[in-house]
């Protein structure tokens, strides 16, 4: 058993953009005036975090599972392969896909801030940005995965990838057994956001 740490010396983008700062300020003012309900905003954000946003990435994974040529392209040039499906934009200009195998499980973190591929995963979850995850994912990835409910065999290597402002990662989980007859839409339904970060594995057919 071993844990590999993939480090980068590129800079991280850890400041709000002008648009993000404006949104934060507007949300604060509207909340103070009683014009919006923070709980409703949280519910909307959660929907984009866990449902709407990650559908893009799930489509990428499903295509890779069902099309060997696309999987090879994704492995060779993830940015171009993902863009061919229409998923581009800020926070996802330079992508790398990392493939889980029977021998290796991949986990993505951003140790300095919260660099994250918005174009394929939507909004980053709060825990991804938390200092505890950002530090412990590198030091004790096996323990962190166990806290997410994912216990891996001791002989399976865990490789940790550190996202930066220049390069972001998408985990391609292993295709579950018993999915040979499923189409892309059904396959995509088995792929969660967490599986594409590496804190979970793909689901199994009902």
86-126 pLDDT, tens digit per residue, is: 888 655 569 999 999 999 999 999 998 889 998 899 888 99
Domains of the chain, earliest start first:
3-197 (3.90.330.10)
Which residues fall within 8 angstroms of residue 173, CB to CB, at 6 or more apart? 61, 100, 191, 195, 196, 200, 201, 202
CB-based burial label for 191 (10 Å; 0-12, 13-18, 19+): buried
Interacting residues of 132 by C-beta distance below 8 A, sequence separation 6+: none
Q: Packing angle between helix 54-66 and helix 68-76, nearest 10 degrees? A: 120
d(CA 187, CA 55): 11
Q: Please list, in sequence order, all residues whose beta carbon lies within 8 angstroms of the beta carbon of residue 61, skipping any fewer than 6 positions away.
A: 172, 173, 187, 188, 191, 195, 196, 202
Rounded Cα–Cα distance for residues 166 and 206 (Å): 39
**CA distances for 185 relative to 8, 64, 82, angstroms:** 35, 12, 17
Do 64 and 179 contact (CB within 8 A), yes or no?
no
Q: Which residues pair with 169 in a beta bridge?
A: 96
**106 has which bridge partners?**
159
pLDDT of residue 30: 78
pLDDT in tens, 55-72: 999 999 999 999 999 999
In tens, the pLDDT along 158-169 reads 999 999 988 999
- Alpha-carbon span 59 to 39, nearest angstrom: 30
Active site residues: 110, 113-115
Task: Pick the more confident residue, 10 or 132.
Answer: 132
Contact between 91 and 168 (Cβ < 8 Å) = yes
Q: What is the pLDDT of residue 114?
A: 81
d(CA 186, CA 163): 29
């Amino acid at each position: 058993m071993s844990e590999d740490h993939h480090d980068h010396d590129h800079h991280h983008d850890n400041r709000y953009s002008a648009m993000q700062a404006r949104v934060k300020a507007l949300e604060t003012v509207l909340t103070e005036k009683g014009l919006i309900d923070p709980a409703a905003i949280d519910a909307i954000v959660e929907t984009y975090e866990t449902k709407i946003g990650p559908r893009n990435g799930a489509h990428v994974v499903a295509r890779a599972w069902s099309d060997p040529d696309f999987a090879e392209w994704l492995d060779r040039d993830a940015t171009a392969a993902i863009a061919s499906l229409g998923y581009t934009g800020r926070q996802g200009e330079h992508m790398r896909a990392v493939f889980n195998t029977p021998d290796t499980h991949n986990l993505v973190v951003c140790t300095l801030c919260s660099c994250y591929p918005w174009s394929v995963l939507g909004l980053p979850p709060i825990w991804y940005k938390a200092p505890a995850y950002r530090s412990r994912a590198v030091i004790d990835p096996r323990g962190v995965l166990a806290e997410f409910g994912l216990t891996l065999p001791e002989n399976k290597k865990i490789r940790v990838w550190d996202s930066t402002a220049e390069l972001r990662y998408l985990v391609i989980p292993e295709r579950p057994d018993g999915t040979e007859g499923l189409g892309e839409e059904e396959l995509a339904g088995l792929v969660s956001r967490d599986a594409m970060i590496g804190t979970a594995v793909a689901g199994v057919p009902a």
